C-alpha cells in the first residue's frame, strides 16, 4: 500500500499520528522484500582507513557538515558534538550539549549549531556552548551556518536567521504550514549570496540578509486524496553545479532549476527519499528500492541504472572523482564507477549501518555508522 512508506518519515502535527500508524500496520503488515545479495567486490580501486573516532550510537537522521578541512559530527544520546581535522585525523574539540539531538550539525569550521529534542537551537564555538534559544517548534533539518549567522527551518515552515555570536534573531519568514511534514532532513543551503530552502514541494530562494523571496520553483505538484498522498516535501542534499540547482521531492520527482532565474528546467518521476549529487553534466540518485540512477543534467534523460543493491536502504550518493560513493544499511560503503554505475570496491567500517550521507574533506572520505563510528578513508 502506498501509505505504508510514509510511516517512519512523516509526522502529523494535528494529532492522530498513532491511530494512523496502527491502522495501516494492521491492514498492510510489515514484511519487506529480501535484499539482493551484494556482488563480490572487484577491488578495482584501493581504499585505506586513515583514522577513526567513536561517538555515542546515532539514532537520528544525522547530517555531517564540512568546512574546508574541518568535519563536524554529532551523536544523539547526550547531544555529543565533535569537530575533526580531516587532514590529520586530529580531534579539535568535543562537547555534550546536555540533551538528545533532533537535528545536527551545521558548521562553518568555527561556529557550529545543533537542535535538541526540546527544540533548543544551540550555538557552539571551540567546544563551548555560546547560547541556546528555544525555537518553539520541532526541527529535523540541520541548521545552516554561513556568514557568521545561523539559519534554521522548523517543521511549521518557518525559516529564521540568528546572529551567531549573540543569538539575536535577525529575521523570520513564515509560510502556511501543512498538516503532515517529513520527519527527516530537508533542504537548507547557501548558494552564492542566497539562501535556498525547500518549502513543501517548492524550491525557494531567499535573500540571506532579510529572508525576502527571490524566486520559487515547484519540483513536484502534490496530488492525492489525503494529506499522506499529497506529501512531496523536498528532502536531503541538493546538487548545485553548472548554473543549476537539482533537488528531490519525496517519493515524487527529481528536477533541476535555473539558479539565477528560478525557472524549472525539467522534472522526472523518481520514488526516492534521500538527496542527490552530481556535477555540471550528470545527476545521481537512489530510489527507495535500492536502484541507483544517473540522469543527464541538462534534460533529465536517464543514462544508466544499477539494481545490484535492490531492496537495500541506501544513503544519498556522493560524486567524488571517478566514483559515486554510497552507504547502505548492511554496513557497507560502496564505490561505483560514475561512468556506468559498476561496483569498483566496497569496505565495511564496523558492520553497522551507514547512517550519514558520505562527505569529503581534505581528500578524505568521512562516514558515520549507527554504532557511532566516525571513519576517514583515502584512496590508495
* Mean of pLDDT values over 74-100: 88
C-alpha cell belonging to residue 46:
584501493
* Helices vs strands, H then E, count in the chain: 2, 34
Residues 189-224: tens digit of each pLDDT: 999 999 999 999 999 999 999 999 999 999 998 777
Query: Average of pLDDT values for 149-167?
Result: 95
Residue-level pLDDT at 238: 97
Q: What confidence score (pLDDT) does residue 219 get?
A: 97
Residue 86 has pLDDT above 60, yes or no: yes
Residue 17 confidence (pLDDT): 30
Closest by Cα among 157, 230, 166 to 198: 157
Domain 63-183 architecture:
Beta Barrel (2.40)
As a whole number, the mean pLDDT across the chain is: 87
Closest listed residue to residue 172, CA positions, set 184, 157, 182, 187: 157
Partnered with residue 325 across adjacent β-strands are 318, 335
* DSSP code at position 353: P
Q: Which carries the bigger pLDDT value, residue 253 or residue 2?
A: 253
Amino acid 191: pLDDT: 94
What pLDDT sits at residue 182? Answer: 79
How large is the average pLDDT for residues 122-136?
Answer: 95
User: Could you give the strand order of the β-sheet that contains 47-54, starting from the edge strand earlier in sequence?
Assistant: 47-54, 373-379, 364-368, 359-361
| Alpha-carbon separation of residue 380 from 47, 163, 277, 329, 331 (angstroms) | 6, 42, 24, 25, 21
Instruction: Name the one residue in this structure whose C-alpha cell is 539514532.
Output: 59
Q: Read off the pTM.
A: 0.89
Cα torsion 208, 210, 214, 218: sign: positive
* Mean pLDDT within 286-301: 97
Q: Tell me which of 254 and 178 has the higher pLDDT.
A: 254
pLDDT value at 61 more than 80: no
**Quick one: which of 130, 125, 94, 89 has its CA closest to 110?**
125
Work out whether the CA dihedral 129, 133, 138, 144 comes out positive or negative: negative
pLDDT band at 261 (very low <50, low <70, confident <90, very high): very high
pLDDT at position 26 is 37
Residue 172 scores a pLDDT above 60: yes
User: Residue 179's pLDDT is what?
Assistant: 65
Which positions ≥6 away from 229 have C-beta within 8 Å? 2, 3, 223
How high is the pLDDT of residue 6?
44
DSSP 213-272: EEEEEES----SSSHHHH---B-S--EEETTEEEEEETTTEEEEEETTT--EEEEEE---
Helix, strand, or coil (residue 19):
helix
Q: Which residue has the higher pLDDT, 22 or 237?
A: 237
pLDDT at 364: 93
Residue 31 has pLDDT above 80, yes or no: no
Q: Which of 2-16, 22-36, 362-376 comes out lowest in average pLDDT?
A: 2-16
Q: Is the peptide bond before 105 cis (omega within 30 degrees of 0)?
A: yes
Model confidence pLDDT, tens digit, residues 305-353: 999 999 999 999 999 999 999 999 999 999 999 999 999 999 999 999 9
Three-class secondary structure of residue 211 per DSSP = coil
**pLDDT greater at residue 68 or residue 164:** 164
163-172, 223-232, 264-273, 313-322: least confidently modelled range: 223-232
Region at 292 (left for phi over 0; alpha for psi -120 to 50; beta for the rest): beta
Residue linked to cell 520553483: 217
Q: Is the pLDDT of residue 149 over 80?
A: yes
Cα(293)–Cα(1) distance, integer angstroms: 24
pLDDT tier at 29, thresholds 50, 70, 90: very low
DSSP 27: H
Cell numbers for 108, please give them.
562553518
Distance in Å from the first CA to the final CA of the chain: 46
- Interval 220-235: pLDDT, tens: 987 777 777 778 899 9
The pLDDT assigned to 258 comes to 97
* CA 121 – CA 119 distance, rounded (Å): 6
Q: What are phi and psi of 322, to 5 degrees?
A: -85, 0
* Contact criterion met (CB below 8 Å) for 167 and 123: yes
- Checking if the pLDDT of 21 tops 50, the result is no
* Cα dihedral 357, 285, 270, 259 sign: positive
Amino acid at each position: 500500500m502506498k501509505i505504508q512508506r510514509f510511516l517512519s518519515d512523516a509526522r502529523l502535527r494535528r494529532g492522530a499520528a498513532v491511530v494512523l500508524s496502527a491502522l495501516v500496520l494492521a491492514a498492510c503488515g510489515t514484511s519487506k522484500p529480501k535484499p539482493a545479495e551484494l556482488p563480490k567486490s572487484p577491488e578495482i580501486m584501493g581504499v585505506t582507513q586513515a583514522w577513526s573516532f567513536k561517538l555515542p550510537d546515532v539514532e537520528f537522521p544525522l547530517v555531517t557538515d564540512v568546512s574546508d578541512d574541518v568535519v563536524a559530527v554529532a551523536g544523539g544520546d547526550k547531544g555529543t558534538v565533535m569537530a575533526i581535522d580531516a587532514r590529520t585525523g586530529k580531534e579539535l574539540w568535543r562537547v555534550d550539549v546536555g540533551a538528545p539531538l533532533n537535528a545536527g550539525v551545521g558548521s562553518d569550521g568555527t561556529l557550529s549549531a545543533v537542535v535538541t529534542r526540546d527544540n533548543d537551537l544551540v550555538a557552539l564555538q571551540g567546544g563551548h556552548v555560546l547560547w541556546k534559544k528555544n525555537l518553539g517548534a520541532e526541527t529535523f533539518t540541520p541548521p545552516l551556518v554561513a556568514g557568521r549567522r545561523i539559519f534554521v527551518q522548523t517543521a511549521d515552515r518557518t525559516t529564521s536567521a540568528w546572529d551567531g555570536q549573540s543569538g539575536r534573531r535577525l529575521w523570520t519568514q513564515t509560510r502556511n504550514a501543512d498538516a503532515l511534514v517529513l520527519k527527516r532532513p530537508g533542504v537548507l543551503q547557501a548558494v552564492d549570496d542566497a539562501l535556498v530552502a525547500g518549502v513543501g514541494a517548492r524550491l525557494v530562494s531567499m535573500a540571506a540578509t532579510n529572508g525576502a523571496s527571490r524566486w520559487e520553483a515547484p519540483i513536484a505538484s502534490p496530488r492525492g486524496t489525503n494529506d499522506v498522498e499529497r506529501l512531496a516535501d523536498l528532502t536531503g542534499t541538493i546538487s548545485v553545479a553548472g548554473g543549476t540547482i537539482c533537488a528531490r521531492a519525496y517519493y515524487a520527482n527529481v528536477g533541476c532549476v535555473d539558479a539565477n532565474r528560478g525557472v524549472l528546467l525539467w522534472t522526472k518521476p523518481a520514488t526516492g527519499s534521500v538527496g542527490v549529487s552530481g556535477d555540471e553534466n550528470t545527476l545521481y540518485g537512489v530510489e527507495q528500492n535500492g536502484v541507483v540512477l544517473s540522469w543527464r543534467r541538462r534534460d533529465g534523460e536517464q543514462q544508466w541504472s544499477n539494481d545490484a543493491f535492490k531492496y537495500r536502504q541506501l544513503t544519498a550518493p556522493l560524486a567524488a572523482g571517478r566514483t559515486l560513493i554510497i552507504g547502505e544499511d548492511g554496513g557497507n560503503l560502496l564505490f561505483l564507477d560514475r561512468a556506468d554505475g559498476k561496483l569498483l570496491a566496497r569496505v565495511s567500517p564496523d558492520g553497522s549501518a551507514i547512517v550519514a550521507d558520505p562527505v569529503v574533506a581534505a581528500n578524505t572520505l568521512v562516514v558515520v555508522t549507527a554504532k557511532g563510528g566516525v571513519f576517514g578513508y583515502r584512496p590508495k
